Amino acid sequence: MPISQENNSSAAQYSPADGSGSANLVAFWLMLAYCLSFLDRQLLVLMIEPIQRDLGISDTMFSLLHGTSFALFYTITGIYLGKLVDTKSRVKIIALSIFLWSLATAISGISRSFFQLFVARMFVGVGEAGLSPGTYSLLSDLFDAKKRSRAFAIYGAGIYLGTGLAFLLGGKLVGYLSGLPPTDLPFFGEIYSWQIAFFVFAAPGIFLSVLFYFFVAEPARGGQEKTAAVSAPDNESAPVTFREFLRHYRANLKPYLGHNLGYGLHMMFSYSFLAWTPAMLMRVHGLEIGDVGLYIGLCLLICGPAGSFSGAALSNYFRVRGLSDSQLRVSAIGSLLLGIFGALSASLDNTQLSIAAAGIAIFFMGLPAGLNAATLQTITPPHFRGQAGASFMLVGNILGLGLGPLLVALLTDYVFLDQSLVHHSLQVFALMTMPLSAILLWRVRSYFAIEEGGDDGGLTADKIEDNVARL
């Protein structure tokens, strides 16, 4: 594997002889980083009962803490970091991002009020804002168009591995710590015992950030592209300003909006489902937090990655058989089935059947996990991929983290007027969001076609020139 030199910005060569294993190892390390980021996010969900008890907050306030605080700074800093990704060392940006959010997670462990924890979670958002844009650009220069769906499926599996481990291990840990009396820490004084979990889960991220900084080298930008449509220009003339990116985005507005909003709505319900299903199982079915962690954790660890890799495999299977737009087809069908089984899980009175339906929903939740990023690279030139990735994550996180869990909480608090009716809120939200997601993705599928005879998608050089000429 190419080892990072003193200057990570120098392009390393991931050649075929060295490259397959090296590139896959980088994808695996990025998956670990994504895993840790979602482990941290979901850990907060498992703490909903002790946080509400000890900090005295409502469902709506918790949604602000879980989603809005993170999404607020994630979206503010994401575009700027995306611009840096297009011009600076992606390896350094990713490593420093991992370090920052891990440090902010540890600081969450000494927060004593809603406001302090809100601010700490905002800085978690700042750190995580650099991971996905950097990863999208980095993996696109390590894998060609036909192999990207599998590479991004590896990365996307980190969502479910991290969330599943949070439920499985974090649930048991939080359940154990919640029963202990407050703890005195040197220099920081007394903290609630459940806050120790933040320190436990911050340490691996700090270690991974150091590993990534010193042992991963920067690949050549645009090295996997073979046509003028998407090949990287010379560094001196590369149009990487935000104005140039907006010009490109406007010229190809329909596929970008269809992609960002379609997958963003998928993220919207996914985050809401994962945020409120634990509360539903505890409030409606009477499960203890440790049992919720076990059941949902196993569903996430098994069904989530299975869905992610199945999405990549199915799209490749149908592509080689003539469906060049298979990635968007699989994603649209996955959104529709996620809505059906998500609503079914929330409507069943039988606990075992509800958990089984949740597992199936999580499978279809994972189906587009690698495809959303892979398809974005198909229509985006290399010198815009950081900003395109940041723009997509901005939309996805505004909808998914900023609005999704909050809207479910508002339905519960102000429409159904009873916290025990959170399952009705999930049913309504599934039927509101997932059909629209499927429609949007289906309507723009032709723009993301990957022909079997070539390496590029549906956005050819002629299409780019025609679209720009219309402005």
Residue 418 tokens read as 């009873």
DSSP string, 265-292: HHHHHHHHHHHHHHHHHHHTS---HHHH
Query: Sorting pLDDT into bands at 50, 70 and 90, what band is 223?
Result: low
Q: Dump pLDDT digits (tens) for 67-98.
A: 677 777 777 788 888 888 888 899 999 999 99
pTM of the model: 0.78
Higher pLDDT, 69 or 427: 427
Q: What is the per-residue pLDDT for 17?
A: 35
Closest of 117, 147, 126 to residue 48, by C-alpha:
117
CA distances from residue 91 to 5, 54, 280, 328 in whole angstroms, order as listed: 11, 40, 40, 29
Residue 21 scores a pLDDT above 70: no
Report the share of the chain in percent with pLDDT over 70: 86
Q: What is the per-residue pLDDT for 31?
A: 95
Closest of 435, 350, 363, 433 to residue 399, by C-alpha:
433
Helix/strand/coil (H/E/C) assignment for every residue in 178-231: HCCCCEEECCCEEECHHHHHHHHHHHHHHHHHHHHHHHCCEECCCCCCCCCCCC
Helix axes 131-140, 114-128, angle to 10 degrees: 10
Closest of 110, 126, 138 to residue 23, by C-alpha:
138
Best-predicted range by mean pLDDT (163-167, 196-200, 314-318): 314-318
Q: Dump pLDDT digits (tens) for 412-426.
A: 989 988 888 998 999
Residue 126 scores a pLDDT above 50: yes
Query: Sorting pLDDT into bands at 50, 70 and 90, what band is 226?
Result: low
Query: Sorting pLDDT into bands at 50, 70 and 90, what band is 225?
Result: low
Q: What is the per-residue pLDDT for 306?
A: 95
Helix axes 385-397, 131-140, angle to 10 degrees: 140
Q: Dump pLDDT digits (tens) for 232-279.
A: 344 434 556 788 888 999 999 999 999 999 999 999 999 899 889 988
Residue 454 scores a pLDDT above 60: no
Residues in CB range of 90: below 8 A, 6 or more apart: 134, 137, 138, 218, 386
